[in-house]
Amino acid sequence: MAGYERILILKNEIESQVMSHVLDENNIPYVIKTYHDSAYNGIYQFQKGWGHIEAPIEFKEEILKLYNEVIDQ
């Protein structure tokens, strides 16, 4: 998406679901992209992580703060 940048790497689907809920609650625009490729049966997810969050750069600090509060506690 135009104007969206990679903000952080997600480790698994649970992190994806939690962050999706948190970002929705805070009205932060985002896209979650998975690294799963059915042709390779998800092999890249073991190397790169489950996926990542993309969002406008002006939300980067807020997203990282929310991630640290919710996931990294």
Which band of pLDDT confidence, cut at 50, 70 and 90, is reported for residue 14?
A: very high
**Residue 43, pLDDT above cutoff 80:** no
CATH number at residue 20: 3.30.70
**Residue 17, pLDDT above cutoff 80:** yes
Give the whole-angstrom CA distance, residue 66 versus residue 28: 11
Number of Cβ within a 10 Å radius of residue 30: 19
Which token pair is 39?
A: 């042709």
* Total number of domains constituting the chain: 1
Mean pLDDT of 2-17: 92
Q: Which domain holds residue 24?
A: 4-70
User: What DSSP letter does each residue of the chain carry, written as one string?
Assistant: -TTEEEEEEE-SHHHHHHHHHHHHHTT---EEEE---GGGTTHHHHHH-SEEEEEEGGGHHHHHHHHHHHT--
